[in-house]
Amino acid sequence: MASKPAPTRASSRSKIAAPAKAAPAPARTTRTRAASKQPEDPPAAPAPKKPTTSRKPLEKRDNIDVPAAAKPKVKPPSARALKQAVLQSDREAEPIMAYLRIRPRLGEEPSSSPYLIPISDTAVKMADPQDTQNARPQYRASVAQPSSIYTFSHIFPPNTTQQDFFTKTTLPLVKDVLYGQSALLFTYGVTNSGKTYTVQGGTEKGTAGILPRTLDVVFNSIEGLHGDGKYRPVRLYGVEPSDSSDSTPPQLSTEPDLAEVFQSLDQGAEPEFDIDPTAIPVDRNHEYTVWISYAEVYNEKVYDLLADAKGESDIHIDGPAPRAGNKSLLLSRKALTLRPSPATDNPDAEINGKYISGLRQFRIHSAAQAKALVKLGNLHRRVFGTLANRESSRSHGMVIIKIIRGHRGDRNDPTALQVSRLTLVDLAGSERTKHTHTTGDRLKEAGNINKSLMVLGQCMEVLRSNQRKLAMSLAHEGAGKSGRMDTRDVKRTLAVVPFRHSKLTESLMDYFVGDSRAVMIVNINPYDTGYDENSHVMKFASLAREITVTPAAAPVQKAPPIPAPSFLPGKLKGHKFKEPSPATLKGPEVAPNPGYRRKVTISMGGGERGRVVSQTTLEVLEEDETREDQNSDDEDDEPENPLVDALFDEIENLRYQLFEAEMRAAIIEAETREEVMLEMEERMRLMEQKHSRRLMSEMERNEMKTDAKIDMLHQGGLFASPMKTRPTYAESYESEDEEEDVEMSLVECASEESDSDDEMNISGTMPPRSPSPLARKEKMLSEKQLGKKPAAPSTPKMIIQKRTFIPDPSPLPSDGEDAELTEVEEEGEDEEEEEEDEDEEDEPMEEDDDDDEYNEEESEEEDDWVPPPPPSAKKTPRKSEPKPPTSTAKGSSAVKQRKISKAGAGAADRSESVSASTPMPQKKLRKSAKSALSDSEDEEEEEEVKPVAPKKKRQLAKKAIVTVDNVEQVTWEAEKLNTVGGKTIRRLGN
């Protein structure tokens, strides 16, 4: 071993997990022999020749770009080809297994449809619920793909039992560990997705998680094969003689208050019934000792959860005094250091992983004992605050189970000890800080959780890219500059995997670069609204599946000789590797570490026990690892060239900054998308409101316009009805002389009325309608004009009505309608102006209307204009007793009735206004009629553009006309009754 060059940091960083096994290496013989003892294991592949680790100056490295002309023209292989090449490059390499576990819906959760649909045992489709529920998918806030298919090694649906899940995912790893091979299992997912449930399990029968089941299976399998425990595992692969402290369980605090806290948090004994009966057949030529340790990575520090809790009551350093009724305790713990595993422990490894220095480990004899320790670790995790908030685990919990396997036949064989590890990691929730709305300490926690998970992702990405590069170089070996491509040169160009950027990755690094198997469990809660977060988790899993690891048996150690008891100085050191002590360290004096203080409030009592609820505030003091430890870390790393080391650090730093910037950019992008979406939604809402307002005003305007036109048409006498056959009121007043005649006729009318009353009395029937005096006068005039003799006095007189002109009402203000409104107003003004003009120059205006069917009559009449009788009037000459107007409307429907009530009121008003208002001159009326006609022509023009609305308008107009006719009839009837009533009154008066 002394002849082997010591590894350097830089050289070890550039190594990767899947080296090419080019030539058999005699250095691996011990390991090969150990592996060959396992019948189930595949024959161990020849170990690679250890490459020399001499470092070249940076500028001479082959990561400088070769000119394009010198580069071999190779078509870039596809991702699938690359993956296969990676797998083929090393027969032992296998991808990380990724299993998906879908959490069932719990009772209290909303029953929204899940956005994750399994489409086979290995593939799942994820569809963004926003796309299915939201009518406007273009405004998605999500930055994730709307729909994607992800593949896994296996997918476990929500109804999967814990037993099934354990058997398919973890049992193979337990078998590996019993056969001397290390393995890693970690759960990844957002908060509340079931990670802790998967690892630790529930409280119901049959819900034990993979950790208690693992312990059960291990002890079931080694039943009767327990070793004597003379050695304990150290670091990653080393062994050293054990001592009595290894079997002494950690002490709970002797501080009474603290003991009370622990007691209150202790949930009682684990259910005894939930024991997995599975046993794996193991090589019975070996004996086994099992060790357990439990660590947590919290706020980028590693803590031992099985260390003795040191507590003091009512101690306040710089803090406020305790409040009455509340206890305050100070608990302290110290962060542990990660150190590189010495090359002497695993001489065949190209890269040495790191171990947690000072992490306590306990030898366990039964599964129950192990579970009790795990439970204590969980308790510490809660007391120290990372689980005090039951909503979420804020730390990464790591349970490390180590098994030392020694040959039974030759117990003193110095090459017969093998240490294998199984690490089960329950990662903290992977949600982003932005969504958890955390502040202060929680924000820091979340930041550190994100950081460690982000670095884990980075490590995987770099590993994948390195493995691809290497696979390509192997695929094209011999195609280099000089006709050869040296894989060793390619290895030098590989990127540094940033394991050191996070304590989590640093402590797990050995599993990715060493000879272990790795399993990733992706927990997902499809009922959660965090589609983006879960989508991120799925991408992470896809990435993990593209990384290969090289499972192989752990190195077999030479067991150190057991010293005589008299030489035991309390705690033995390994015979080859010495833990650095502060005394051996050089360097300046280090200032004492003040540590980090925070408060954890724990509620005690209450619930089923019925005790009074009290709160205890714990002040947790977390001391950093000492500088000496960090220095010793550097010492272990044996830096050779400080400049190169600094440059590597700089590269790592820059890489980290780049990732941070990318993370920030992603968050900003998501926020911006969200803002834009909200703004767009607001705008759409406003537009919607505006348009509906406009639509309403348009409808109202149209309605009023139609009414007004109908009025104008009536005024122009253009509709067929008894009323419209009558001459207009205005015509009767063309001269003062005529007015006198009218007065005369009124007198006559009075006498005739009395006659007609008599007639009615005689016949007993209703007399015919009696026209008003004005109508009679008008009739006389018209007959005079026609050269006829005035009609007999008994001829009924006409009722002359005049409606006031109702202009178009001003429409409601609406955006974009200004132009139209202006046009309407201008039209109104124009009409008035035209009317004025027309008073002065009537003829030219009238002559212009060529297509008006009344043009000829207009030109003739001028002064003697007689309104043309409507078609019905033409067919049936006016009788002396005109029939009451009959409703000729097609179908008197409910709509009509409604119109009557509405339009009737208007008509009545208009009738009343007849007497009050100034009569409209005949020309004006004609003009109004013409303008109404021209409007209808306009409408016909519009009809070409909008074929539906004008048609409807016409229908409405027809209905309205009919309605008005009805109203007129009612008015006529009322008037007649009034006349009869007046006569009766007069007669009575006489």
Q: In the stretch 86-105, what mask flags binding to ligand ATP with x, by CB under 6 A?
A: -----------------xx-
Q: Which stretch binds ligand ATP (CB under 6 A): 191-199, 662-670, 756-764, 771-779?
A: 191-199
Region 523-542 residues binding ligand ATP, contact defined as CB under 6 A: 523
**Beta carbon nearer to ligand ATP, 299 or 966:** 299
The answer to whether the annotation marks 409 as part of a ligand binding site is no
Q: Least distance (Å) from ligand ATP to the CB of residue 396?
A: 10
Q: List the structure tokens of 149.
A: 């298919």
Instruction: Provide long-range contacts, Cβ within 8 A and 24+ apart, for 787-794.
Output: 791/880, 792/880, 793/748, 793/751, 793/752, 793/755, 794/752, 794/755, 794/756, 794/880
**Beta carbon nearer to ligand ATP, 392 or 450:** 392
The answer to whether the annotation marks 37 as part of a ligand binding site is no
Nearest to 513 by CA among 459, 447, 454, 451: 459
Q: In the stretch 147-186, what mask flags binding to ligand ATP with x, by CB under 6 A?
A: ----------------------------------------
For residue 301, give the H/E element and its range: strand 301-304
**Beta carbon nearer to ligand ATP, 104 or 582:** 104
The answer to whether the annotation marks 516 as part of a ligand binding site is no
The answer to whether the annotation marks 644 as part of a ligand binding site is no
Which residues fall within 8 angstroms of residue 752, CB to CB, at 6 or more apart? 770, 793, 794
Question: Which of 193, 299, 341, 772: binder of ligand ATP (CB under 6 A)?
Answer: 193
The answer to whether the annotation marks 971 as part of a ligand binding site is no
The answer to whether the annotation marks 352 as part of a ligand binding site is no
For residue 975, give the H/E element and its range: helix 949-989
Q: What residue type is 918 in one-letter code?
A: T
Q: Least distance (Å) from ligand ATP to the CB of residue 391?
A: 6
**Beta carbon nearer to ligand ATP, 202 or 884:** 202
Residue 233 backbone class (left: φ over 0; alpha: ψ -120 to 50; beta: rest) = beta
**Burial status of residue 577 (CB atoms within 10 A of its CB: 0-12, 13-18, 19 or more):** middle
Size of the site for ligand ATP (CB under 6 A): 17
Q: Least distance (Å) from ligand ATP to the CB of residue 608?
A: 18
Q: Least distance (Å) from ligand ATP to the CB of residue 510?
A: 25
Q: List the structure tokens of 200.
A: 């630790």
CB atoms within 10 A of CB 658: 11
Q: Which stretch binds ligand ATP (CB under 6 A): 189-197, 373-381, 500-508, 822-830?
A: 189-197
Q: Least distance (Å) from ligand ATP to the CB of residue 392?
A: 3
Beta bridge mates, 295 = 304, 398
DSSP 432: -
Comparing every residue's Cβ against ligand ATP, the nearest one is: 194
Any contact of residue 721 with ligand ATP (CB under 6 A)?
no
Cβ(156)–Cβ(165) below 8 Å: yes
Q: Which stretch binds ligand ATP (CB under 6 A): 170-178, 194-202, 221-229, 341-349?
A: 194-202
Q: Least distance (Å) from ligand ATP to the CB of residue 211?
A: 12
**Beta carbon nearer to ligand ATP, 404 or 508:** 508
**Beta carbon nearer to ligand ATP, 530 or 904:** 530
Q: Least distance (Å) from ligand ATP to the CB of residue 185?
A: 15
Q: How far is CA 658 from CA 269, 454, 457, 654, in A?
A: 49, 12, 14, 6
**Beta carbon nearer to ligand ATP, 210 or 513:** 210
Question: Which of 196, 299, 502, 507: binder of ligand ATP (CB under 6 A)?
Answer: 196
Pairwise CA distance, residues 822 & 830, whole Å = 12
Q: Least distance (Å) from ligand ATP to the CB of residue 99?
A: 13
Q: Least distance (Å) from ligand ATP to the CB of residue 355?
A: 26
Q: Least distance (Å) from ligand ATP to the CB of residue 663?
A: 20
Beta bridge mates, 944 = none
CA torsion 258-261-266-267 (nearest 10°) is 180
The answer to whether the annotation marks 194 as part of a ligand binding site is yes
Question: Which of 24, 51, 202, 250: binder of ligand ATP (CB under 6 A)?
Answer: 202
The answer to whether the annotation marks 253 as part of a ligand binding site is no
Q: Which stretch binds ligand ATP (CB under 6 A): 86-94, 187-195, 526-534, 862-870?
A: 187-195
Q: How far is CA 967 from CA 804, 900, 907, in A?
A: 16, 7, 7
In degrees, rounded to 5, the angle at the alpha carbon of residue 637 between the alpha carbons of residues 634 and 641 is 90
Beta bridge mates, 403 = 290, 420
Cβ(249)–Cβ(362) below 8 Å: yes
**Beta carbon nearer to ligand ATP, 89 or 525:** 525
Q: What length is written for the chain?
A: 990
Q: In the stretch 375-404, what mask flags binding to ligand ATP with x, by CB under 6 A?
A: -----------------xx-----------
Residue 222 backbone class (left: φ over 0; alpha: ψ -120 to 50; beta: rest) = alpha
CB atoms within 10 A of CB 184: 24
Reduced to 3 states (helix: H, G, I; strand: E, B; else coil), residue 142 is coil
Cβ(845)–Cβ(968) below 8 Å: no
Nearest to 55 by CA among 456, 640, 457, 543: 640
Q: List the structure tokens of 930.
A: 């013409």
Cβ(756)–Cβ(767) below 8 Å: yes
**Beta carbon nearer to ligand ATP, 108 or 863:** 108
**What's the Rg (C-alpha) of the chain?**
50
Region 428-487 residues binding ligand ATP, contact defined as CB under 6 A: 428-429
Cβ(369)–Cβ(339) below 8 Å: no
Q: Which stretch binds ligand ATP (CB under 6 A): 188-196, 339-347, 674-682, 689-697?
A: 188-196
Alpha-helical runs (H) found in 716-817: 736-763, 773-785
For residue 505, give the H/E element and its range: helix 503-513
Q: Least distance (Å) from ligand ATP to the CB of residue 115?
A: 17
**Beta carbon nearer to ligand ATP, 168 or 694:** 168
Question: Which of 7, 114, 118, 189: binder of ligand ATP (CB under 6 A)?
Answer: 189
**Beta carbon nearer to ligand ATP, 533 or 731:** 533
Question: Which of 118, 194, 722, 882: binder of ligand ATP (CB under 6 A)?
Answer: 194
Q: In the stretch 420-439, what mask flags binding to ligand ATP with x, by CB under 6 A?
A: --------xx----------
Nearest to 177 by CA among 282, 285, 92: 282
Question: Which of 191, 328, 346, 473: binder of ligand ATP (CB under 6 A)?
Answer: 191
Q: Which stretch binds ligand ATP (CB under 6 A): 11-19, 192-200, 447-455, 733-741?
A: 192-200
Strand order in the sheet with 310-313: 310-313, 327-334, 614-623, 596-604
Q: Least distance (Å) from ligand ATP to the CB of residue 596?
A: 22
Q: Which stretch binds ligand ATP (CB under 6 A): 193-201, 369-377, 398-406, 454-462?
A: 193-201
Q: Least distance (Å) from ligand ATP to the CB of residue 420?
A: 27
Name the phi and psi angles at 672, rounded to 5: -65, -45
**Which residue ranges make up the annotated binding site for ATP?**
189-196
**Residues forming the site for ligand ATP (CB under 6 A):** 103-104, 106, 189, 191-197, 202, 392-393, 428-429, 523
**Which residue ranges make up the annotated binding site?**
189-196
